[in-house]
A and B are shown apart, each in its own frame.
Chain A
Amino acid sequence: MKLSSLIKLNHISKVFAVSPEHPALSGISFSIEPKEQVALLGQSGSGKSTLLSLLGLLDSPTSGDYFFEGRNVLMMTPQQQAELRKQHFAFIFQQYALLPHYTALMNVMLPFYYRKADKAQAIIKAKEALALVGLAGKEDFFPNMLSGGQKQRVAIARALVTSPSVILADEPTAALDEVNRKLILDLIRELAHTHNAALIVVTHDEIVARQFERNLILSHGQMVTA
C-alpha cells in the first residue's frame, strides 16, 4: 500500500450489536488511489453496503484504521467527519434518492445550498451538470416526470456537481433496464474519470464488476481479493 493513497483501510471490522457473533466486516484492508475505479462485488449480505457506509463516513467501524489522504478519519470528531464527507464524498444510490418535491435542477443545486454557494453560480453549474448527463431541457421536471434512467442521471449530475474526490455508488444500475444499465454505468465511469474522482461501485452483478479493472470481492464480511 502506498502512503499517498486516497483511501487506506487497515484491519477494519464492524460488529452490529444485534449479532455480535457474526461480524458484518472482519479484517478489511485495502487502499484506493486517486481517480481509481473499483467495483466492490459480493452477494447479498456479504457486507458490501456496510463497507460502503464506512467508506462514506456514514457509519464508524468497530475496530481498525481508516486513512483519508493520510489523515486518520477515526481520530476525527463526528463534526469533522461530516465536514470531510461534505468536502470529498458524493453518493449515488440505487433508488436515486431525489427529493420528490424538487425539480431536477433544484435537486442538482441542493449540494450548493450546504456549501453556501452563490445561487446564480449554483444554477449555472447545475445546468451544466444536467447537460453533461444528457438532461438539458429537463431542468424543471420533477422526479415523477422522469424515467428511472433519467432519475439516475439527475443523481449522477448531483454527485458530480461539487467535484468530489470520491464517488460512492450503491448498486447504481440495479433498478434500471438492460439498455439503461450499461448506459448509466458508462456515464458514471466516464464522468468520474473526467472529474478526476475515484469511483467505488457496489454491485452484486459480476457483469457490472467485470467492466472495472479492479474488483474487491467480499464474502461473509471478509475480503476475498483486494
Chain B
Amino acid sequence: MMYAYLSEIWQELLLQRMKALLSLLGFVIGSALCVGLLSIGLNAQFVSMAQFSALDTDLLHVDAMSRAIKVWPFDSAVLTHKLAESDANIEKASGLFHISTRILFRDQPVNAFGIITSTSLYPILQLNVDNGRLLRDLDRTQAFCVIGSALAKELQDRIGHSPLGENLTIGKQVFTIIGVLNPSQRGSFLFLNIDRTVFLNMAQLPRFSDTEVNEWVIKIKDISQLPITKQRIEDFFRQISPTIESHIESLDELIKNIEKQNRLFILLLLSIGLISLVGSGIGIMNVMLISIESRKPEIGIRLTVGALPKDILIQFLKEAAFLTIMGAVLGVALGEALSFVLCLFFAWSYHFFLLPAGLGVLMSIVTGMAFGYYPALKASRVNPLFLLNSV
C-alpha cells in the first residue's frame, strides 16, 4: 500500500520534473544551510571547549586564612597531604609560596618570579624538562632550582651557553639551576608565568618565611563534581578550625559563561538556518503556486471525473510531503558534508551531532508542510468550469 502511494506520488512528480526539481533544490539548500550551520556551530563549540579544558579547568586555587591563627600549627607537607585526602575527587595537591625577593643572575637582576612548591606541582601543571631534570623530594637539603623556558633563554643570551649549572641568587640564598622546563601555557589561572618562574623545593620555605604555606594548587579528577569538591575543601578547613576562612577559585564560572556564549552563538546560527529554511519554504510555495497554475487543466479534469476537493488537497499535500522529506534527508546529508569539509579546512575534528540532523529534518518537514498547505488548498479550490467550451 505504502509502495503504491509512493509510486503514485513519484510518477506525478516525474511528470512535473522541472518544477519538482526546483522545489526540491530549494528545500535541499534551505535544509542543508540549517543543518550545516548548526553542525558547524556545534563542532566549533566542541573544539573550543576541548581547547579550554586543555588549560586550567581542572585546577583549583585554594587559600586559607585565619585571623586567630598567627602561626600555622601544621607542617606544610602534612597539611597538603591531608588536604589531598579530603575528597576522592582530588587527584593531587601542592602547596605554593610566592617569593617576593628580587632574583639576581651574576649580580644582575632578572625578569623572573620565584615560587616554592611541592614536587607534585610538576604533574599538576604537566610540567616537564627540556634540559636537566626536575626537583625531587630527595633534593630537600640541596639548594637547587628549576627555571622556565623564557628565563632560560634570557640567561643563555647573556652568557652564550645553557644556564644549567649556573647559580641564581634569591635574597641571600644561592641556588643552582638543575633543570630548564619546556614552554607551558598552564598556570595562567594562578597568575603564574611558568616560562619566567624559578621553582624551589618546599624544603627551602624556612629560608624565606617563618610560616607554613597557606596556598595550594589542586588538580581534580572530574570537573562535573566540582561543587562537591569545593564544599568538602571548605569543610576540611572548618574542621581544623572554625576560624579559618578558605577561598577556592576555579575556572568553572568562566567555563559556564563561555558555555552560555556558545549557546547564544548556536542559537544565532540556528536562527540564520531557520530564516534560510523559511526563505526556501516561501520559494517552494511560489514554485508550487506556479505549478498549480500550469496544472489547472489537470486539476479540472480530476474534479470532473470524480475527485473531491479534499482529494486534490491530499494529492498536493502528499507531493509537498514527499518533496519536503526528500529535501530534508538530502539537506541533512549535504549540510553534514558541508560541516565535515569545513572541519577539515579548519583542522577540527569532525563530530556528528544528532541535534542538527534531527532538528533539520523536523523543521524542514514543518516548514515544507506549512508552506505546501496554501498551494494545496488553492489547488483544491480550482473551479473546473474553464474546461467548458464557452461560458
Interface residues of A (CB under 8 A from B): 24, 44-45, 49-50, 52-53, 56, 58-59, 78-79, 82-83, 85-86, 90-91, 93-95, 97-99, 101, 110-111, 113-115, 158, 162, 170-171, 174, 202
Contact = CB atoms under 8 A, between A and B. Distances in A.
27 contacts: A24-B391, A44-B390, A49-B389, A49-B390, A50-B391, A52-B388, A53-B391, A56-B304, A58-B304, A58-B384, A78-B309, A82-B308, A83-B308, A86-B307, A90-B305, A91-B305, A93-B388, A93-B389, A95-B387, A95-B389, A110-B302, A110-B306, A113-B306, A114-B308, A114-B311, A115-B306, A202-B389
Contact of B388 (A45, A49, A83): A49
A97 B300 contact: yes
B383 interface: yes
Given A93-B388, A93-B389, A98 B301 contact: yes
A210 to B, nearest CB: 20
Contacts of A82: 303, 308-309
Given A79-B309, A114-B306, A171-B389, 7 more contacts: A52-B388, A53-B391, A58-B384, A91-B387, A95-B387, A95-B389, A114-B308
Nearest to A14: B391
A97 B297 contact: yes
Nearest to B301: A97
A27 B31 CA distance: 58
Cβ-closest 5 pairs across A and B: A114-B306, A86-B306, A111-B305, A49-B388, A101-B15
Contacts, number: 72
Contacts of A95: 387, 389
A119 to B, nearest CB: 8
B91 interface: no
Interface of B: 15, 297-298, 300-309, 311, 383-385, 387-391
B389 A170 contact: yes
A90 B391 CA distance: 18
A9 B15 CA distance: 42
Nearest to A82: B308
Most chain A CB within 10 A, of B308, B311, B385, B390, is at B390
Contacts of B306: 85-86, 110-111, 113-115, 162
Contacts of A113: 306
Nearest to A46: B390
Contacts of B305: 90-91, 110-111, 114, 158
Nearest to A164: B306
Contacts of B302: 110, 114
A86 B300 CA distance: 13
A98 B298 CA distance: 8
A78 B388 CA distance: 20
Contacts of A171: 389
Contacts of A98: 301
Nearest to B300: A97
Contacts of A83: 308
Contacts of B297: 97
Contacts of B301: 97-99, 110
Contacts of B304: 56, 58, 85, 91, 97
Contacts of A52: 388
Most chain A CB within 10 A, of B297, B302, B309, B391, is at B391
B385 A174 contact: no
Contacts of B298: 99
Contacts of A90: 305
A79 B310 CA distance: 9
A174 B389 contact: yes
Nearest to B16: A101
Contacts of B300: 97
A93 B303 CA distance: 13
Contacts of A93: 387-389
Contacts of A50: 391
A49 B391 CA distance: 5
A50 B306 CA distance: 20
Contact of B385 (A44, A58, A85, A111): A58
A45 B390 contact: yes
A183 to B, nearest CB: 20
B309 to A, nearest CB: 7
Nearest to A162: B306
Contacts of A91: 304-305, 387
A200 to B, nearest CB: 13
A24 B388 CA distance: 15
B284 to A, nearest CB: 22
Contacts of B309: 78-79, 82
B308 A79 contact: yes
